[in-house]
Structure 1
Amino acid sequence: MEGDSLYFTGPETINLRERSVEYSAEEVLIETRVTAISPGTELLIYHGDAPSDLPADETLDALDGDLSYPLRYGYAAVGDVIDTGSAVDEAWLGRTVFAFNPHETVFSAAPSALVPVPDGTDLEEMVMYPTVETATTLVLDGAPRIGERIVVLGAGVIGLCTIGLLASFPLSELVVVDPLAGRRERARQLGADTAVAPKEFAETRWNDAAGPEGADLIYELSGSPSALDDALAVAGYDSRIIVGSWYGTKSLTPDLGGDFHRDRVSIESSQVSTIAPELRGRWSFDRRTETTLENLRSLPIDSLVTHRIPFEDAPSAYRLLDEQSENALQILLTYP
């Protein structure tokens, strides 16, 4: 079957290309209804800041090859199963499903790679599944404790979902730092005790290690390498810094010459493709999926979607994300 796929073909260059889609006896054919742009990762690729020799994602069958141009990318698609292979249960026919798949009008996948959309779940909520799964993983990796002081650097869509989950914990204080006023207001609505601009944050007691104790847990979700120094500046003794940002090829030179060494601060990466080793005895991907779906229902996902743009106008969606970050938070691509 013929379909159209979105390709990153060079820095700040997007093309829609016709592509033939085949499916085996063990696969189903899916017609796309909506996809979600991942602002952080996809803008890195859009700007040419992703390492071109890095595999696209070895855990997702739909993403093959590396991150060099031309590149099909994206990992949040919801669509309807319009045909099934001969070895697939016909009960899949007509189901609406989520898939970790690039932006394209039609695609194939094995049923094991799909998540059926639960009854009562809106398509626009379900397409945000990867974002909420990432936020769920960030919370699992950070392991917030009762009474802790937590700082979240960056209130993009992943940061906001993480803030919404953290707000349900009995914390001492939840502080959010972001340069955009609109995102700070959204953070407050989702449960942040305080939301400030970076300059204001630097001038408060938080820049002096929050008094004698400092912050217990800091999430760096801004995508800016310099924010890691901000995290280190407020880290208390034996505190944890969870880095959810992917910096790509951006230069990273954190200042580890100050209190970092003596204060036994730990810096840990969080990445949704795997589950932390210490959790694997109790947490499977299926368990995390169930938890993510519960979190998807509890968060006000619809409030995070700022734009819906037809797939055929996809190049304008990336320009909007790049040039108007104050107004564009989560953009969805819609399909006829």
Structure 2
Amino acid sequence: MEATAYWTVAPGEGELRRESIAEPGPDQVRVRTLASGLSRGTELLVHRHAVPESVRTLMRCPFQSGDLPGPVKYGYLSVGVVEAGAAHLLGKRVFCLHPHQDFYVVPAAAVTEVPDGVPAERAVLAGTVETAVNALWDGGPRIGDRVAVIGAGMVGLSVAALLRRFPLGRLELIDIDPGKADVAAAIGVPLVAPESAAGDCDLIFEASANADGVATALRLCGDEGEVIELSWFGETRPSLPLGAEFHARRLTLRASQVGRVSPARASRRTTADRLRLALELLRDNAFDALLARAVPFADLPETLRQMDAGRGTTLCQVIGYPQEDACTN
């Protein structure tokens, strides 16, 4: 049985390849993909062959084929329906940390059911919302806190969308692009420019992937405030203002990363628990504002080239799969 998968084959170049898949065993499932999502930051680094050698092992995704920098089959935001295999999952919609591929066979334990009321396209955000959940566990916002989120990309918007549920004293979403005001309004959080943002913050989530964003976070922190750093800079070495008042004001700059459950919850939550929670949180239709209109799977190579050139959406790019297709025997 054959399937089609997307491979990064050279810096800035990708292609669709046919490959054989086996029939699922008793503890496996065959998934027909309904939608997948492009993780803009990480997948553009993979597309450019720009993943640092020192973290290539850590950056492996669960069903990756090939090795970084490439050729490699990479991706981890896939939603589909189980068509064969484990009986208790037949006909169920599931999320899986699988690369972009129209059909695939994985262990039944590797898929998580998508709750009723969560459309397939919205469910591709599960990995991003899971990152946001981990960040909130790391930051631990408290009642009445003055909180800012810097960077209105997928991660920053997801963090802000969750924070709007909290009884905070203040919440601002900060970005240099005023064109993101509409999506910020759609999730119910005001967008402000860095120069207009309120200071004396108790807690800041930094997700701009820009050194200026980190500098803004440190400037806006109140004394003994904390910055949760969500940006990943790859091989870039950002220049940070850690002189001046950084020590005198006893600021904290702390990393957050989804690869492991936050230490604040690690003794009581597993990664599976965290993913199920992310999918439940996606019942909130405000998350639809983070999705760009789906492009066909056949156009994925060109879509990534356009994104690499700085064109196209800054939201989560959804990939749609033709539902009339079937596996080729």
Name the residue aligned to 2:327: none
Partners of 2:32 and 2:59 in 1: how far apart?
Answer: 24
Name the residue aligned to 2:10: 10
Partners of 1:49 and 1:3 in 2: how far apart?
Answer: 28
Name the residue aligned to 1:179: 176
Residues 1-336 of structure 1 correspond to what in structure 2 (within 5 A)?
Answer: 1-22=1-22, 25=25, 26-52=27-53, 54-55=55-56, 57=58, 60-63=61-64, 66-84=67-85, 89-193=86-190, 195-197=191-193, 201-202=194-195, 204=196, 206=198, 210=199, 214-323=200-309, 327-336=313-322
Q: 1:248 to 1:116 in 2, by over 3 A?
A: same
Deviation by residue 1:155-174 (Cα, 9 ceiling, x = unmatched) = 01221111111111122221
1:281 alignment partner AA? S
Deviation by residue 1:73-126 (Cα, 9 ceiling, x = unmatched) = 110111222322xxxx42333332111000012211111110122233211122
- What residue ranges of structure 1 are gaps of 5+ in the alignment? none
Deviation by residue 1:290-311 (Cα, 9 ceiling, x = unmatched) = 4322311124222222221111
2:2 alignment partner AA? E
Q: 1:53 to 1:16 in 2, by over 3 A?
A: farther
Partners of 2:24 and 2:58 in 1: how far apart?
Answer: 22
Q: 1:96 to 1:257 in 2, by over 3 A?
A: same
Q: Counterpart of 2:55 in 1: which secondary structure?
A: coil
Q: 1:124 to 1:313 in 2, by over 3 A?
A: same
Q: Are the counterparts in 1 of residues 296 and 319 from structure 2 also a CA contact under 8 Å?
A: yes
- What residue ranges of structure 2 are gaps of 5+ in the alignment? 323-329
1:40 alignment partner AA? G
Partners of 1:326 and 1:173 in 2: how far apart?
Answer: 32
1:181 alignment partner AA? P
**Matched residue count:** 321
Partners of 1:316 and 1:60 in 2: how far apart?
Answer: 23
Q: Are the counterparts in 2 of residues 133 and 292 from structure 1 also a CA contact under 8 Å?
A: yes
2:94 alignment partner AA? V
Deviation by residue 1:229-254 (Cα, 9 ceiling, x = unmatched) = 22112222111111111111112221
Q: Are the counterparts in 2 of residues 52 and 66 from structure 1 also a CA contact under 8 Å?
A: no
What is the root-mean-square deviation in Å for CA atoms of aligned residues?
Answer: 2.2
Identical residues among aligned pairs (%): 33
Q: 1:258 to 1:119 in 2, by over 3 A?
A: same
Partners of 1:30 and 1:294 in 2: how far apart?
Answer: 21
Q: Counterpart of 1:61 in 2: which secondary structure?
A: coil
Q: 1:73 to 1:327 in 2, by over 3 A?
A: closer
Partners of 1:268 and 1:205 in 2: how far apart?
Answer: 21
